Structures are given as structure tokens and as C-alpha cells.
Structure 1
Amino acid sequence: MGKKSRKSTADVIAKRKARAASAAFVARPFEGLPFEADLVCFKELVPAATATAKLNEENGGTEITFASLLPGGAQAMHRQDGVVFAGMQTPFSSPDPSRDVAAAILKAKDAEPGAIVNATTNPGEGPRLQDILDLDAPFSVTVQEGFDYWIAPGQAEGEEAEQLAEALEQANTRVHPTEKLVSASGAYWTRMGEKVFVRWARTEHEETVVDALARLHAAGENTFGGAGRFLGTFRAHGITVPVWELDAGSQPDDAEEPLAAFAKDFDAALAETTPLSAQERSARAGVASRQLTIR
């Protein structure tokens, strides 16, 4: 076999491997991003929120706005005023949502204002968010009361604006009050009907989180600083999200002080490495039985 044939065969094999890698399931797609917990919450738990981020210099240094939801469940949007949005809540995705969002961002960035990039189950080979974002740039979260960010300031006329306004009105009716808590990273207060919850996305290994919850539970301290009742956990995109129910009259500010105190107890439990006691193992079985996998 000549050099040219060997090179061609190597190229074919490399392409096959690249295609296989792009189709492989990624259990924790946003791992390595400093704002992994918030992205998971945007994708699965927070109804309306935005956060500013930035592409790295290799990809132009453009400012990007991540959003929980875009019109029609789009993956990305180049708004009429030039702002590029990345949507996290889509009707479907490939086995690697990080690659999905990255591909859509790059496509929307280079598109004309007003362009929409729809979700796909096959974005093809290409970079992931971990490859295109400036990981040192701030990720500034703003929880929104609705989806008014879909429409650019001054974009109030024309058939397209009217259609967007109708979709916006319908979407806003489904938003339940939510606030990002400041006393700990990845924690969100929300009111759903007459009930109030705090959902706290944790990026530690799942087994470590469950063990910590078991230790707290066995000691009667899994109570969100005495302000809540532990309900269970969500599994979402490779991380664990414990949930506590708070008093029905609780407001976001009421949760800050208990969260700050409880965070110290939680950190101590996470750092504990001694084997679980019999009582803690029993508590762990109860915690594990209250897990719900979202994705």
C-alpha cells in the first residue's frame, strides 16, 4: 500500500472516529464550565432567565446572552438589535447538549439580525461550549418575570413583531415566580401555586451529595437551616439538585439567611469521609428513593 493510500485510510478512520464522538452520549455535558449549575437550572428548572457570557478570542470575543427559553424553543437567535441569544430549553437535543448550543451560537453569530436557529438532534462535528466560551468572563444571571427579552427595544412594528408579541403573551402566562438566591451558587427560590421550594444544583459527584444529605438527614439537620422540609433530588445532566419545601408564605429574602447557615453544614457533610453509620445508611436509602431523573 502506497503512502497516499495509507494517508487516505487514516483520514477515513479519523473522520469515522470524529463522527462517533459527536454522536456519543455525554452524561454530564456542561462539566468544566464554571457556571455548570446555572446552565442546568436554565435548561430544566428556571422558567425565564438570561445570563451574559462571552466567546473566547478565537471565536471573536462576542458577547452572548444565554436564555432559559427562546421563541418556539429555538436553540439560538440573532435578535434584531444584534444581540446573540443561546436557548437552553428546546423540544429535543442530540446526545451532547453542549455541542448543540455551541453549534447554534456560532451559526447565529454569523447570521443576519432576525435569524432563528432551531434545535436539532444532529449538530454534526464541531466544538462544544467548553471550547468556544471565555471561561474567565463573568456569567451574570438575571431572573426575568417573563420573556420580554425576545423582542429588541424598539422592535414594536411589523408582522413579525406582532407574531412574536402573541407568542410572548402566551408564554408569559406559564411563568411561575422564581428568584436566584445569592447566599449560595446554583440555588433558586420558586413559588408554584401555593407552595414554595428551593432547588439547589450541586456540582459535586452525585454519590458525594447523596452521602452528605444522608448524614444531615440522620442527624435531623437536613432542614434547610430549620426553614424547610427535604423533598428529594432531581438528577439533571449529570448533577444532583436537592429540593426543599419552605413555608407557603416564604419570600426569597426569607430564604437567604437559612441558606447561608445551611450551606456551612452541607459543606461540612460533603467534606466528611468516614464510612456512613448504620443510621446514616438507612437515611441514605430514603434519600436515594426520592430521586427523579430529568435527563
Structure 2
Amino acid sequence: MAKGSVDFVLRPFEGLPGEPDWVALKEVVPAATAPARTTAEHGSKDVLITTVLPQAWPALHRADGVILLALQTSTHSGDASRDLAAALLEAIEVEPGTAVEVIGLPEAGPRLQDVLDLSVPFEVTVHDSFAYWLAPDVERTSDLEAAIQDADEGIIDTVKIPGVEAAYWCRMGAKEFLRWAQPHDEQVVLDGLARLHARRESGFAGGKFIGYFRSSGLVVPVWELARGTEADELDGAIAQFAPRFEAALASTEPLDANERRARAGLVARQVTLR
């Protein structure tokens, strides 16, 4: 590898508060934010982590001084954390009201884990509009309103399930789904799901487990829910399912023949996002 280049990192958000939520916002949540703050070394700046920005900008130094950092952007190195840190550091330097439109291939340097204050919890707010792109006191011209309305049309209904880390209900067309990013290593999650699937216990709330995404070194299992299931109806079902899931994840027993077959079927249904 060339001098100064960035090594590949399988789990680029490992060590950040709320790693599964970072992955969820990067891949499966359409419009959401979470506050962050840079370290004193980097100016103790307020940062709003967001899913996406206009025209796929990596970052925006908003007119009111708040810095927005987008997760759903193209990465250029083997370490998404380094790429995002490069965009964040550039956004700190530009004038308020300026977007960071392009980030090239960064050399080795600080990562988000080095730039952000890790004592700040990653508390996600899901939005039904991208109006937060604008500072509160910015005059909303007809062109700005039209641009936000156009972006809003692509937002699917999404709700973060309270009391559960990185679990998101969504409605796509006439179907409802739960996408639940897991904090554990991929192999642990697959083994746990295989144990449940072999016993026909992998579904809940009248729905069924249908597959999973792989992204940033983590697994995001997906359940198709019973038709018409609303987000606020899931609390009890998840509370009943969670102990079974946790026990399956904690088990260190070798998979039996049925569980190995179930695991092979799960792997065949995976979708690797990044």
C-alpha cells in the first residue's frame, strides 16, 4: 500500500457512541439527524450528523454556524470514518453558508473517533422533511421551498422504535418492515438468527424474518411485519422477542444440522450495501 494511503476498515464506526445507529443512518433511514460535537482540539464545534444533504454534498457549514455532516455520500478510501472526518474538518474551515461539495481521496489522518467528543450520545431524530437543511432564520424563497418539497417526496415513512437500539419501522408501499441494526459481530448475529430460524422462532408481531443487509461490518436484519402494523404496536412484540434473540446470540453451542441449513439459507438472502 502506498505511503500515506488509508487502510481498509471493516467497521469504520466502531468505538463511536451508537455504532448501529450510525450504520442505520448511513444505509436505511431516509431523513434523520443526531447531534455531535468536535473535541476541544478541533474547536468544540456543534455538528449535526445527517443522512443526506442537497446534491449529495458531504458536508455543509450552515449560515447559522451549525455544521452538517452527511453519511449517505460516496466514500473514496477504505475507511468511511476517515473520509467523513476529512469532510468535517474541511467544513469547519469554510465560511458559514458554504457547502463542501467534493472530497477527494484522503491520505491517512484523523478519523471521526479522533475528531468527535465521544462523551456526546448519538441520539437520533427521524424527520418527515428535509427542512432542517436550512438555518431556522433563513428566508424560504419559492425556489428553496420547491427544492425541499421535491426532496421530501422521496422520504418513506420511518419511525425509530423507542427503547430499542437502532430499530426502525418503515412503510414501503402497502407493506411494513422492521430493520434492526445489530451491534454484534456478523458471525454472532448470523448464528443467532439461524438458531431461531431453525426453530421457526425468527418472526414476531405476526411477521416474518426475510433477510438482512451487511454494511460497515454490521448486520441489519429485516422483518416483514403483518400488513398494517404500525410502529407504536411493536413495543410489546419486541419485548417478547428480545430475550429469545439475546439468548440465541449468547449461545456458544455449535450449530446443529438444521441450524447450519438455516444459516446457509440466510447467507443466500444477504444484501451487501458497502
The TM-score normalised by the length of structure 2 is 0.95
The structure whose residues are more often helix, as a share, is 1
Please state how far the C-alpha of 1:164 moved relative to its aligned partner. 3.7
Please state how far the C-alpha of 1:243 moved relative to its aligned partner. 0.2
The equivalent of 2:176 in structure 1 is 196
Please state how far the C-alpha of 1:199 moved relative to its aligned partner. 0.4
Number of residue pairs the alignment of both structures matches: 274
Is 1:264 the counterpart of 2:246? The answer is no
Q: Among 213, 221, 224, which residue is 2:201 paired with?
A: 221
- Structure having the higher Rg: 1
RMSD: 1.7
Equivalent residue letter for 2:179: R
Q: Among 155, 158, 164, which residue is 2:138 paired with?
A: 155
Is 1:60 the counterpart of 2:43? The answer is yes
The TM-score normalised by the length of structure 1 is 0.88
Q: Among 198, 206, 209, which residue is 2:189 paired with?
A: 209
Would you say the 8 A contact 1:183–1:260 is kept in 2? no
Identity of aligned residues (%): 48
Moved over 4 A (4+): none
Structure 1: distance between partners of 2:53 and 2:77: 18
Instruction: Provide Cα deviations, 1:32-76, integer angstroms capped at 9, x if missing partner.
Output: 212111111111100000001111222222221000011111111
Equivalent residue letter for 2:184: E
Please state how far the C-alpha of 1:274 moved relative to its aligned partner. 0.7
The equivalent of 1:81 in structure 2 is 64
Would you say the 8 A contact 1:201–1:239 is kept in 2? yes
For residues 65-144 of structure 1, what are the structure 2 equivalents within 5 Å? 65-144=48-127
The equivalent of 1:179 in structure 2 is 159
Larger RCO of the pair (alpha carbons < 8 Å, separation 6+): 2
Which consecutive residues of structure 2, in runs of 5 or more, have no partner in the other structure?
A: none
Equivalent residue letter for 1:122: L
Would you say the 8 A contact 1:52–1:64 is kept in 2? yes
Instruction: Provide Cα deviations, 1:78-106, integer angstroms capped at 9, x if missing partner.
Output: 11111111011114543221111111112
Which consecutive residues of structure 1, in runs of 5 or more, have no partner in the other structure?
A: 1-15
Give SS of 1:227's match: coil
Give SS of 1:203's match: coil
Q: Which moved more, 1:238-247 or 1:253-262?
A: 253-262
Structure 2: distance between partners of 1:243 and 1:32: 24
